[in-house]
Amino acid sequence: MAAPLDFPCPISADDGAVVLLGHGGGGLLSQRLLEQVILPSLGATDGVLLDAASLTTEAGELAFSTDGHVVRPLEFPGGDIGALAVFGTVNDLAMLGATPLALSLGLILEEGLPLSTLSRVLSSAAAAAARCGVSVVTGDTKVVERGKADGLFITTAGIGRIPAGVSIGPSAIRSGDAILVSGDLGRHGLAILAAREELGFSTSLESDLAPLHGSVQALLTAGLELHALRDLTRGGLAAALHELCRDAGLGGLVHEAVVPVHAAVAAACELLGLDPLTMASEGRFVMMLPASQAQDALELLRHEQSSAAVIGRIGGEALLLETSLGVRRPLELGRGELLPRIC
């Protein structure tokens, strides 16, 4: 079995503990909040964390997902909160192999938000939905006092159709599976860093924000046996691999030297003391499938992103990173919130 995550300071809703900004970062604190407060309070017992839920209906298997978006700034290099909200939910559906059918969109507007900004963001959301071949069919709008919503928060939910015979999730992961990433990591996190003037940091790179369902559908159409998928948002690759390996009860080995990271992202992380493996992406995913199919999958992924790569293999009892020096150590999970308001 994969080694359990280390929670040295358990939290409880009864001991006076409060929510911290780090609880939203996608790392160790996020998982602690989910496993020790949110999931038990809702009556969830298995603790398996998926991007979307699979629902069995008379019309077949459906995927259902919901997501909240709190990015700051609202508009950033390569995208904005409107496109982020649409693509984020479409991508969560895609991680179960689903084609999106319909979306809902809820707005929480802060008093003082320029209507011109709202119009641009909503136009961007509409364009993103059209690109994905899906419509926003329902929604809601609320307004809160000045200073209470960081300008604009968006909540989206989506329904998608899972093809017959497709069952993607941690329970399908097998020892020996190859681990692939669909492109280079961390561009979204870097774009948000650069957009915050108070950090005095600049780059020409844009967010990797993009829909992923087309790539997943291409893999399925090619007849590949996709065992598990996870988009690399909060917490980055490290968080995704920890969740998948934990839920599969298996370990794995990732080779740092072949993990694709753009030079600008690597330089920024070195300068700021960040780990590229924990940096958020919004148009990348990690995949597990039989090693015998890895090369075919890689060729398909490289039609979209030339930087797609095979980065490791599932197996063993612990999730390890082999460094560029050949040293193997546990793959570390981010512990807190290094980059608030990113998605």
Each domain of the chain, given as residue ranges in start order, spans 50-161, 170-330
Is-contact 228 170, C-beta < 8 A? yes
Round to the nearest angstrom and report the end-to-end CA distance of the chain: 32
Query: How remote is the C-alpha of 333 from its chain's centroid?
Result: 14
Task: Assign a CATH topology to domain 50-161.
Answer: 60s Ribosomal Protein L30; Chain: A; (3.30.1330)
Please give the share of the chain, as a percent, with pLDDT higher than 90: 70
- Is the pLDDT at 151 greater than 80? The verdict is yes
Q: Sorting pLDDT into bands at 50, 70 and 90, what band is 45? A: low
Vertex 61 angle, CA 58 and 66, to 5°: 120
Asked if 236 and 26 touch (Cβ cutoff 8 Å), the reply is yes
Cβ neighbours for 45, distance < 8 A, ≥ 6 positions apart: 39
Asked whether 299 and 292 are in contact (CB, 8 A), the reply is no
Name which residue leads in pLDDT, 333 or 39: 333
pLDDT at 273: 86
CATH class of 170-330: alpha beta
Distance (Å, whole) CA 100 – CA 132: 8
> Across 46-120, where does the E strand assignment appear?
53-57, 60-69, 75-76, 79-80, 99-110
pLDDT at residue 85 above 80? yes
Does the pLDDT at position 233 exceed 80? yes
Q: pTM of the predicted model, to two decimals?
A: 0.88
User: E strands of 91-170, at which residues?
Assistant: 99-110, 135-144, 152-161
Task: Check the CA dihedral 285-263-195-199 and report its sign.
Answer: positive
Residue type, 301: L
- Residue 251 CA to residue 228 CA, distance in Å, equals 14
Decide: helix, strand or coil at residue 190: helix
CA gap 206, 215 in Å, rounded: 20
Q: Both tokens of residue 156?
A: 């989206």
Dihedral angle sign, alpha carbons of residues 149, 135, 213, 266:
negative
Q: Where are the alpha helices (DSSP H) in the chain?
A: 28-33, 39-42, 81-94, 115-132, 187-195, 213-221, 236-248, 263-272, 294-301
Give, as one character, the DSSP assignment of residue 3: P
**How would residue 18 be classed by pLDDT, with cut points 50, 70 and 90?**
confident
Is 141 in a helix, a strand, or coil?
A: strand
